[in-house]
Structures are given as C-alpha cells and as structure tokens.
Structure 1
Amino acid sequence: MMNIELFDFDLPEELIAQTPLKNRSDSKLLTLNRRTGEIQHHRFRGIIDFLHKGDTLVLNDTKVLPARLIGQKKETEAKVEVLLLKQLDDNRWETLVKPGKRLRQGHEVVFGDGLLTGVIEDTTEVGGRIIRFHYQGIFNEILDQLGQMPLPPYIKEQLEDKDRYQTVYAKHLGSAAAPTAGLHFTKELLQQIEEKGVQIVYITLHVGLGTFRPVQTENIEEHHMHSEYYQLNEEAAKKLNEAKEEGRRIIAVGTTSVRTLETVVNKETERFEAKDGWTDIFIYPGYEFKAIDAMITNFHLPKSSLVMLVSAFAGRDTIMKAYQEAIDQHYRFFSFGDAMFIY
C-alpha cells in the first residue's frame, strides 16, 4: 500500500499564482538532476541552455475550449453555470452544472438571449448532466462568443486575455484545461530552440478537469484516473522512433505529454505506435518509464496524481526536497506558476 499522505506538503496560499506573468518566458525555472539531486535556479528562457542539438521536444498542441457557459433556467430565469466536459456526439455534451439539484431531465437552459439553448437529457454517475444543445450556425463560433475560459478552482481572478490560458502552439480544440507547462513558451523561444537543432514534435491530449482533482483514496493504488482523448500521428511516431533508435533524448513538455507518450509506446519493443483513443494511465512511484528521458512541468497540487507522476520519474524524496526549495525561494505554483525541468 502506498499512502496518500506521502504526497502531501504545506503550500502557503500566497504562492498560488492567480494571474499569468506579462511575458511568458520570464517565469522562474528550477532544474533538477534526478540522478544527483542537484537543484539550480534560472529563468524559463534559459531552458535553451539545457536542450541539446538532436534532442526531441514533445509538445501537446491541444486547444482549450471556452467551456464555461453562464445561462438561465428557462422556467424560472435562475442563473445556471454549465461546464462542458466531453462531446458525446454532434450536439450532446457531458457537463457539470451549478446548481445541479435544480436541473432535472427535460429542463431547458438559455444562453446569450437564446443564441444557444440546452435541454437536460440525463444525469451521469458523478452528478453531471447530459445536455443536448440547439443553435443556428457553427457551435464553436457560438462558444467563442458566449463561453469563458474554464480556469481551475484555485484561480479566483478573472483572466483579462483569453489567449493567456492557451499555449502559443495550441491547434486542436477539445481541452477543458490547458497543458500548463507549455504556457511558458513564446514563439520566439521555440524558434531559437529549433535553430539550435532541437526537433519539435507535436502530439495531442485533450486535458480533462480530473487534472485538478486531488486523489481521494487513502491507498493511491485504488485511485481510478479519468480518461482523456489522445492522438499520435504517423509523422510524429516516425520522428520519435528515430530519436529512440539513435539514442537521442526525448523531452516531454508537461505531464499530459508524458501520459500520452507512455500510453503509445510499446512496453516490449519501446517503439512508438501511431494511434488515437482514450487513456486513463495512472503513473505513480514504481512505474517504469519507457518513452521519455526528461520532462518540463509546473509545480502541482498536494496529493494530486501529477505530484505522483513526477515522483515516479525523479523519486519521491527528491521531488519533495525540490518542492520545499521552490517554496523557500517563493516560486509561483500551479497553472500560471513557474516551471521545473527534470532531467
């Protein structure tokens, strides 16, 4: 049994970043050598000094849906908040609804003076609602007009610029949350990295809201991960396999990239397979990594599956020591926080 308390730590509330920095790559960067435990402090733009010619940098190019909709219950005009989680077919979505108790099967919600309406069709196991939407035109365009960014619950401030909760390379719409390790990159920095001879490969994993939930089971081995949709195309698989064959480093940007790569790598042959599907892979100490050599990541919530993932990669004691150092040095934590390079 692996106890949840092993992954707890005290985090002063003032270190939870509420807003993004003016310049993405001005964030701090803690580098951690997982073999020696050596820690150094830099600015994120200095990541280029830790990347070598021939390295393969893997980025998750998912794009966050403006998935938070504010509407009114048609019958009473009471305020209703709907969070889109997963598209089931053309017009049906799995959602979270507040206040949920007042919305039952058959009830209708109106958004944007009728530009969009939704009818509750069913409930889900976790207390969500299946909603069928009705509209004229293109759903994503209406969503862009009416929706707000679904910021994590620990961020209390409104986001002035929607694009700051997207990576500069976001392409495929479908996430309920940003792959936040990628938020530190600017287009200029990525160009400099490519000019250095680092190969950039894009994969897709649509991040679910389960990302923000702490693990609830006392024995972490009893925890069940939410599933998320991923995609690795033929070209990306070919580049990753060539890097593997030639002994070049594969560096994942973010835990979402790590989870995707560890899902698509064949554990026997250690070759990457082009495919798409749903993954609920849960990585915690004891896991044997087959896909990656290093990772860039943010600082995560206590007791979260993400702290367990980085602990599996670098060792729990090493990670807890690095986290304490980050707290002592007043690093910013979570989605809009600072970064860590583990190699």
Structure 2
Amino acid sequence: MHPSQLQIKDYTYELPDERIARYPLAERDLSKLLIYKEGNISEDVYRNLPEHLPADCMLVFNNTKVIEARILFHKSTGSIIEIFCLEPAAGVELTQAMMSQGSVCWTCLVGGAGKWKQQFLEKQLSTPKGDVLLKAEKRKQEQGSFEIEFSWDNDHFTFAELLHFAGVLPLPPYLQRQTEAADYDRYQTVYARQEGSVAAPTAGLHFTPLLLQQLQERGIKTQFVTLHVGAGTFQPVKSETMEQHNMHREWIEITTDTIEDLLKQLPNNIIAVGTTSLRSIESLYWMGVKAIINPNAGIEELEVQQWDAYDLPNQKTSAKEALQALLDWMKRNQLNQLICHTQVLIAPGYKARIASAIITNFHQPNSTLLLLVAALIGNDWKKVYDHAMANNFRFLSYGDGSLLWVRESSV
C-alpha cells in the first residue's frame, strides 16, 4: 500500500492527560529509557545508555537551538497581540534572516489578529546593548498565517538578538502552561548551537555533558546535523488518509564532513537521536538519489518532497552510492554545506536507508511522528506504547524516551 492511503485512525492510542509530563525531571539523564530490539522490551534510565549501545556505533544529534519565537505586543488598551515567528518569508534563508539588521520578513501566526487595527505594533526594549524600538507590520495574509515585516531603529542588533530580548521561549501547546524561567535551560539540549527552531529536538533533552563524555570514553562516535524544528511538528493529522495531509517542511544544514563520516560509518550502526536527526540523515539518501538521476540539478531540485521516498526511481540505490553521489554533487557545485528544505514523510512502507536505530520520546496520537515510529518497528509500536503506558512512563516533550532498533520486517 502507498503511504498516501494510510488511515490515521490506525495510528492512535488513548493518552490520558495525567500521563503528559508538564515538567522535566530535575536530572536530565534519570529519565526512564525503554529499549526495544527484535521484538523484546526492557527498561533502564538514560544514564546507563552507553551500556546498551555497541561500541562501534555512531550517534547523530541535532544541534539546533530553540529561539524565543513568541513576541508579545501590549496595546494601550491593555490587550495583548502575540506574534509567533514560524520561519523566514519565502526566498530568505534562515541563517541570513537571523543575522538581518534593520528589518526582516517572517511568516508568523498572530494571536489576537482581530485587535490589530493600526499599521504598526511597537515594543520598546531597554537592553545591555542599548535601547531599541521594535516594530511589526502586516505585509500580507496567507492561509492560516501572516507575512510580518519586523523593523528596528538600532542597526547594532541582529534579529536573533532582538528575539532574545523581546521574545518568549515557545513551549509545546500540549503542556498547557506558560513558559517559566527554568524552561530556558531545560527546553534546550546541552549541545544546542544553531539558532532557528521553534521547538526542541526533545530526544536530546535527556543527554548531559557527563553522559556525552561517557559515550566518548566507550569509543562511541558522535556527529551533528542541524534541522530547525517547525511548529508543524505539533500538528496532528486531521485528514482520514495521509493523501490529504500536507507534511511540514523544515530547514536542514549538514556539512560535507558530516556526510563523509556517515559514509565511513555505513558498515556499522548509525543511531539517530530524535526524529529530526533521522529525517535529516534519511533525507541525505534521497538527495543523493536525485543527484544520480539528475547530476546537473540545482539545490531546489534536490530538496526532498513529501512522497519522494515512495515515488522516485532508483529505489535500490545503496546508501553508499547515494551519499557518494551527493558528495560528488556538492564538490561539483563547490559547496561544503547543504542548506535546504526537507519535507520527507517517513511512514509505514518506508525502509530506513541510513539509520539502524532511533532514540526518541513518546509521541502524540494521530501524529506523523508516531507514523515514523511505526515505519521503523512495524505494528510493534502498539506493544511499545502499551508497555510504556502500563509501566508509568512519562509522555511527550518533557517525558521519558526509548531506544528503538529498526525491524527489517517492518518494511
């Protein structure tokens, strides 16, 4: 069956409200860890993760950093208009947008848009770098969102700095609470570096500097990719079948050094830390397939679309051939880094090309993230989630997690 015909009602479960972790544990690596391999389930905590990994494996982390994407503008009437920055407006690359000075356009959600009658919303900021007046102006309305132009009167500030002073860290809506001071530390991974996400790659929240050191001491390799998580990751699938669902697209940034390391690692296990890391490395495979099909393709033509993994020819291309083709394409185009979108949908019917396993949290019912888990371990996703529910695992972003080894029979 083509994944477009999958019915989302087959990928749901009952998630009681009290099983959603509203707050993280005090110590990151004491979260519970469910280990699934070849149909068997066991339990431990993240602190002991190195004991459950082969010494010749590589962990791939997403080093994106969550930005303070919610900006609250207070009107003289006392009402509040919230602007939630989703991504730069079309044609603007994310890093470029974050480093903009003076003005920049973003696609945003607007809470209280009906109260926005004047041309500009204004927010006066006093910062250690000096005072600055931030303005927001609606440029156009799109389906479910607005294009907003931000401008400010002090060119010493980049937009990234302005967000830091003016914005609020966005927590997932299902936590149903306001952002608190502790979240600014706990809703970031300890290795977060590249600003641009509106949600954390939550599988990485369980890792501590000591745990990373222990992995290194065991000879376990680590590598980093960047996928900037979009708000679409929280959107449930509302259509009956996947055919009507539009998979959200996200920015990825991956260097040639990372791709070369993945290529060298291929004979051994590659473990994605989080669904974002897995989507990133699996996207590399399909970009390589596209580079084989059309060696003269531009970067936009290599971007992975929603159904590419099921509709492209050359499905039997090996991971080694695909990654090498992508490296060759980058060399011809004099690139040492890929910066592009991916819209890859990983659902039952998908065969993992790069990843041997995934470390991931427990995801919402009716979500594309749950489809991804089902793609990797087949119908045993029900067994895993039933076990987690029956054994007091905590769910969603601040909850516990799992190490899931890919089942060949899941394809």
- TM-score using structure 1 length: 0.93
1:97·1:129 contact (CA, 8 Å) conserved in 2? Answer: no
In structure 2, what is the equivalent of residue 62 of structure 1? 64
**143, 160, 163: which one aligns with 1:143:** 163
Q: After the TM superposition, which residues 267-282 of structure 1 pair with which residues of structure 2 at under 5 Å, given as runs?
A: 267=289, 268-271=317-320, 272=323, 273=326, 275-282=338-345
Q: What SS is found at the alignment partner of 1:115?
A: strand
Query: Aligned-pair distance for 1:77?
Result: 5.5
In structure 2, what is the equivalent of residue 215 of structure 1? 237
Query: Aligned-pair distance for 1:51?
Result: 1.5
Q: In 2, Cα distance between the equivalents of 1:135 and 1:82?
A: 19
**95, 104, 108: which one aligns with 1:95:** 108
User: For residue 224 of structure 1, what is the amino acid of its counterpart?
Assistant: N
**205, 225, 232: which one aligns with 1:183:** 205
1:103-142 deviation digits (Å, cap 9, x = unpaired): 36x6311224573221111112223343333242312222
In structure 2, what is the equivalent of residue 11 of structure 1? 15
In structure 1, what is the equivalent of residue 380 of structure 2? 318
Q: In 1, Cα distance between the equivalents of 2:233 and 2:180?
A: 20
1:33-66 deviation digits (Å, cap 9, x = unpaired): 1x3x111111111111112222110000001101
1:52·1:196 contact (CA, 8 Å) conserved in 2? Answer: no
Q: In 2, Cα distance between the equivalents of 1:341 and 1:303?
A: 21
How many percent identity over aligned positions?
A: 37
1:276-308 deviation digits (Å, cap 9, x = unpaired): 210111111001210100110000000000000
2:109·2:144 contact (CA, 8 Å) conserved in 1? Answer: no
In structure 1, what is the equivalent of residue 299 of structure 2? none
Q: What SS is found at the alignment partner of 1:84?
A: strand
In structure 2, what is the equivalent of residue 80 of structure 1? 81
* Structure 1 unaligned blocks of 5 or more: none
Q: What SS is found at the alignment partner of 2:168?
A: coil
**175, 181, 190: which one aligns with 1:160:** 181
1:121·1:132 contact (CA, 8 Å) conserved in 2? Answer: no
Q: In 2, Cα distance between the equivalents of 1:292 and 1:310?
A: 12
Q: In 2, Cα distance between the equivalents of 1:238 and 1:22?
A: 37
- TM-score using structure 2 length: 0.78
Q: In 1, Cα distance between the equivalents of 2:244 and 2:36?
A: 30
Change (3 A) 1:13 1:77: closer
1:122·1:130 contact (CA, 8 Å) conserved in 2? Answer: yes
**289, 294, 298: which one aligns with 2:357:** 294
Q: Which has the larger radius of gyration?
A: 2
In structure 2, what is the equivalent of residue 243 of structure 1? 265
- What is the number of residues matched between the two proteins? 336
Query: Aligned-pair distance for 1:2?
Result: 1.6
2:86·2:108 contact (CA, 8 Å) conserved in 1? Answer: yes
1:287-334 deviation digits (Å, cap 9, x = unpaired): 12101001100000000000000100000x200111011011111111
Residue 108 in 1 paired to residue 110 in 2?
no
Query: Aligned-pair distance for 1:155?
Result: 1.1
Change (3 A) 1:135 1:302: farther
2:86·2:107 contact (CA, 8 Å) conserved in 1? Answer: yes
Q: What SS is found at the alignment partner of 2:349?
A: coil
Give me the CA root mean square deviation: 1.6
Q: In 2, Cα distance between the equivalents of 1:226 and 1:135?
A: 34
Q: In 2, Cα distance between the equivalents of 1:155 and 1:135?
A: 36
1:73·1:107 contact (CA, 8 Å) conserved in 2? Answer: no
1:220-254 deviation digits (Å, cap 9, x = unpaired): 2332111100011011111100001xx11000000
1:25·1:185 contact (CA, 8 Å) conserved in 2? Answer: yes
1:225·1:282 contact (CA, 8 Å) conserved in 2? Answer: yes
In structure 2, what is the equivalent of residue 341 of structure 1? 403
1:124·1:130 contact (CA, 8 Å) conserved in 2? Answer: no
Q: What SS is found at the alignment partner of 1:128?
A: strand
2:108·2:145 contact (CA, 8 Å) conserved in 1? Answer: no
Query: Aligned-pair distance for 1:73?
Result: 4.4
User: For residue 216 of structure 2, what is the amino acid of its counterpart?
Assistant: E
Q: In 2, Cα distance between the equivalents of 1:198 and 1:112?
A: 49
* Structure 2 unaligned blocks of 5 or more: 93-99, 126-131, 290-316, 328-337, 406-411
Change (3 A) 1:261 1:14: same
Residue 24 in 1 paired to residue 14 in 2?
no
Q: In 1, Cα distance between the equivalents of 2:106 and 2:152?
A: 12
Query: Aligned-pair distance for 1:270?
Result: 1.1
Q: In 2, Cα distance between the equivalents of 1:111 and 1:163?
A: 25
User: For residue 143 of structure 2, what is the amino acid of its counterpart?
Assistant: E
Q: In 2, Cα distance between the equivalents of 1:186 and 1:92?
A: 36
Decide which moves more: 18-27 or 83-92.
Answer: 83-92
Task: Name the one with the larger helix percent.
Answer: 2
